[in-house]
Structures are given as C-alpha cells and as structure tokens.
Amino acid sequence: MKVIIAGSTGMVGGLILKNCIASDSIKEVIVLARKPGQKSADKKVKEVVITDFANYSDQSALFQNVDAAFFCIGVYTGQVPDDKFKIITVDYAVEFAKALKINSPNATLCLLSGAGADRTEKSRTSFARYKGMAENQISRLNLKFFTFRPGYIYPVTPRKEPSVVYQITRALYPLIKLLGSNTSIKSTELANAMFKAGLQGADKEILENRDILNLL
C-alpha cells in the first residue's frame, strides 16, 4: 500500500506515521512537510517539501496510486488571524482532498477534524464553522472519506502545551475522562483509530469521539 500524510510532525500525524512505518502492509509513505530536515531513517518514507498547501498543481505525481491518505494539519484557535485560520482549516484540507480525488479516486481519506464541527456552517465559533466547511466540501467529492471529531486529545507523549488553558486541561484529564466517552481521547488512541480506518474503513463518515474509541 501507498500512504500520503499531511501534518506528520504534529501530535497525531506523527503517531500515524509511526504506525505506517511499523506496518508490513505499507510499502511507501509520502510525507508532506513545510520545511526540510524532518526526514525519517526508514527507507519507505519519502519527505516532500510543499511551499503552498493550497496548490498541488505541480505535485500530482505524489497523489498517484495512493491507497490511504491522512490530513492532520491544523492550528490552534487564536494562534493566527481568522483569515489565515480559515485557509489552513478549509483550503489546505480541501485542496489535499481534490488532489487525491483527481489522482487516486479510489483512495481512502481520513481527516482530523474536531468535536463541534458544524456542517450548517452557521456557528459563531470559527473553529466549528470552518471545520464544518472543510467536511462539507470534501464530502461532496465522493471519496471514501472519514472525518474524525475528537474531544480533548490527551498528549500521551509530554509536550510544550500551546497555552495555559491546555496546561490546565492536561492536568485535569483524569477528571475529564470521567465525564464519558465523548469528551476525551488519548493521542495514541486517536492515531490508531485513524490508521485503522485508513486501511480498513469505518461504518460511517462522521466519527465522533465515542465512535473513534469504538474503532479500537
């Protein structure tokens, strides 16, 4: 199998990449990177620097003969202006999906979305509205498409948290976990579920937090 990943340096994308490397079923992994220097020692992994994640017109060959694709690029709310947040959340994801549709129409695409994604596109929250936009536009491409809507993602591997809010949330994770199966998930659980769906599929397009856990 051939796999392509956008966002492999992130918390979830990096774990999906590890699953790909460990899998005997996968013979080639294309990793789309913002900048060079993150190459894997594994010979099945090929790093490709992308200068514009909203334009793959010169990289069509990367998307040919792909069996599974994972889009995990994202940015935290408030880290960039709203117009840039929309470009990253909607445009990057949709253009990735379009390139896949043109070159490998039978491939499976797994999108890292988020809890509360609003497909009515009317939410006052940019995160929910833009995630919903991305889901809608990709869904209309008629790919084999699964969108993952995790709640709070607990980083199994310690990291520098992006804000004080995330520092507090991480500390409160044992309590958050008690609130039920639709509130939180470990980074490893999410990555494993996405990887499994990419290779084997799932029973529905929209996978909320509890649905993701049920894939394991």
Mean pLDDT for 57-64 is 95
C-alpha–C-alpha distance, residues 46 and 20, integer Å: 12
Taking the C-alpha atoms of residue 65 and residue 80, their distance in angstroms, rounded to an integer, is 35
Question: What pLDDT digit, counting tens, does each position of 110-150 carry?
Answer: 999 999 999 999 999 999 999 999 999 999 999 999 999 99
What is the pLDDT at residue 8? 94
User: DSSP code of 150?
Assistant: -
Tell me the one-letter amino acid at 10: G
* Residue 50 scores a pLDDT above 80: yes
Long-range contacts of 25-29 (CB under 8 A, 24+ apart): 25/1, 25/199, 26/1, 26/2, 27/1, 27/2, 28/1, 28/2, 28/3, 29/2, 29/3, 29/4, 29/5
pLDDT for position 208 = 98
Asked if residue 132 lies in contact with residue 123, where contact means CB atoms within 8 angstroms, the answer is yes
Give the per-residue pLDDT at 135: 98
**Strand 45-49 versus strand 68-71 pairing type:** unpaired
Alpha-carbon distance of 107 to 101, in angstroms, equals 8
The larger pLDDT score, comparing residue 39 to residue 42, is at 42
Q: What is the pLDDT of residue 77?
A: 80
Q: Which of 22, 24, 20, 1 is nearest to 12 (CA)?
A: 20
Can you read off the two tokens belonging to residue 41?
A: 């020692």
| Residue 99 binned pLDDT confidence (cut-offs 50, 70, 90) | very high
**% of the chain at pLDDT higher than 70:** 99
Q: Which residue has the tokens 């809507």?
A: 149
Two structure tokens written together for 112: 């890292």
Residues 208/181, Cβ–Cβ less than 8 Å: no
Strand ranges (E), 50-164: 68-71, 108-112, 144-149, 152-154
List the Cα angle 81/55/25 in 5-degree steps.
105
Residue range 37-44: mean pLDDT, rounded = 77
pTM: 0.94
State both tokens at 40. 């894997």
pLDDT, one tens digit per residue, over 150-201 is 999 999 987 777 778 778 888 888 888 888 899 999 999 999 999 999 999 9
Least confident of 28-42, 85-99, 186-200: 28-42
User: Is residue 193 helix, strand or coil?
Assistant: helix
Which pLDDT belongs to residue 40? 72
The pLDDT of residue 62 is 97
The DSSP annotation for 37-75 comes to ----SSTTEEEEE-S-TT--TT-GGGGTT-SEEEE----
